[in-house]
């Protein structure tokens, strides 16, 4: 009898544990959402941003330093017979703000090619504070003859960047994979953006 009672108690305890684990599994999603809403972490998912009206209900990013403006200049160097350029030459951003620039590329050769880009920054100290969330430089790409591509670079400049830095040049060198890999370009802000008619 004692053994049966002990077994029955053990089975009862196990049933309670299993039921508790099952209930906890179902509760994880609402608990996670509640934590995200309370802390503001991971609340800006892509799906939420694409739903009309959702963005207006989301809390503002408190990490953005709106007291500072940094000019980001974009440079493109092509080591080969192809077209490579940024959609815009510069933009002004706040530290901590998510920004995106598009780069345009076209293989103007009559053969397929594989290529990749190498980034560099000026001044050099900006490299540690220029955080790319999405960049075509992370991968190699194969392009057919005449094929055009447009790639985004999504980035955030760390608010910890020295306040002496007011301009950053992001420079890319696009080279063909399989050939001689070029050194990372040395971005020269005085060379990157020269307005038409300047110096005349």
* 125 lies in the same domain as 169: yes
> What is the CATH number for 107?
2.60.370.10
Domain of 31, in residue numbers = 2-57
Annotate 79-108 with b (16+ C-beta within 10 A) or e (fewer): beebebbbeeebeebbbbbeeebebebebe
Question: What string of pLDDT tens digits covers the 200 residues of the chain?
Answer: 677 777 778 877 877 776 666 665 555 556 655 655 554 444 444 334 444 444 444 444 558 999 999 999 999 887 777 888 999 999 999 999 999 999 999 988 888 988 888 899 999 999 999 999 999 888 888 889 999 989 999 999 999 999 999 999 999 988 888 755 444 455 443 343 333 343 43
- How many folded domains does the chain comprise? 2
Do the Cβ atoms of 172 and 75 come closer than 8 Å? yes
**What's the confidence (pLDDT) of residue 124?**
92
**What's the confidence (pLDDT) of residue 16?**
74
* 90 lies in the same domain as 25: no
Of the three residues 57, 87, 102, the one that is the final residue of a domain is 57
**What's the confidence (pLDDT) of residue 37?**
54
* 15 lies in the same domain as 97: no
Alpha-carbon gap, residue 54 to 165, rounded angstroms: 35
* 145 lies in the same domain as 46: no
* 7 lies in the same domain as 102: no
**What's the confidence (pLDDT) of residue 33?**
58
**What are the tokens at 65?**
């330093």
Residue 195 belongs to some domain of the structure = no
| Ramachandran area for residue 35 (φ above 0: left; ψ -120 to 50: alpha; else beta) | alpha
**What's the confidence (pLDDT) of residue 197?**
40
* 10 lies in the same domain as 39: yes
CA dihedral 179, 181, 186, 191 (to 10 degrees): 10
- If DSSP codes are grouped into helix, strand and coil, which group holds residue 182? coil
Contacts of 66 (CB under 8 A, 6+ apart): 94
Q: Can you tell me which residue has the tokens 């503001």?
A: 40
Do the Cβ atoms of 105 and 174 come closer than 8 Å? yes
Sheet of 141-143, strand order? 90-93, 70-79, 167-176, 113-122, 141-143
* 86 lies in the same domain as 182: yes
Contacts of 107 (CB under 8 A, 6+ apart): 82, 113, 115, 143, 144, 145, 146, 147
* 130 lies in the same domain as 169: yes
Do the Cβ atoms of 110 and 150 come closer than 8 Å? no
């Amino acid at each position: 009898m004692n053994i049966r009672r002990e077994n029955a108690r053990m089975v009862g305890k196990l049933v309670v544990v299993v039921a508790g684990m099952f209930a906890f599994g179902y509760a994880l999603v609402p608990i996670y959402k509640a934590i995200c809403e309370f802390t503001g972490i991971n609340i800006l998912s892509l799906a939420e941003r694409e739903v009309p009206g959702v963005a207006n209900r989301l809390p503002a990013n408190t990490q953005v330093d709106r007291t500072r403006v940094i000019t980001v200049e974009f440079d493109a160097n092509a080591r080969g017979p192809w077209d490579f350029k940024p959609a815009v030459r510069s933009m002004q951003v706040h530290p901590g703000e998510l920004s995106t620039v598009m780069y345009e590329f076209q293989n103007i050769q009559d053969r397929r090619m594989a290529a990749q880009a190498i980034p560099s920054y000026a001044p050099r100290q900006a490299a540690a504070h220029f955080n790319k969330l999405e960049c075509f430089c992370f991968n190699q790409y194969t392009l057919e003859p005449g094929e055009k591509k447009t790639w985004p670079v999504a980035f955030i400049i760390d608010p910890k960047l020295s306040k002496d830095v007011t301009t950053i040049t992001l420079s890319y060198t696009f080279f063909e994979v399989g050939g001689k890999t070029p050194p990372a370009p040395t971005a020269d802000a005085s060379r990157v953006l020269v307005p038409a008619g300047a110096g005349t």
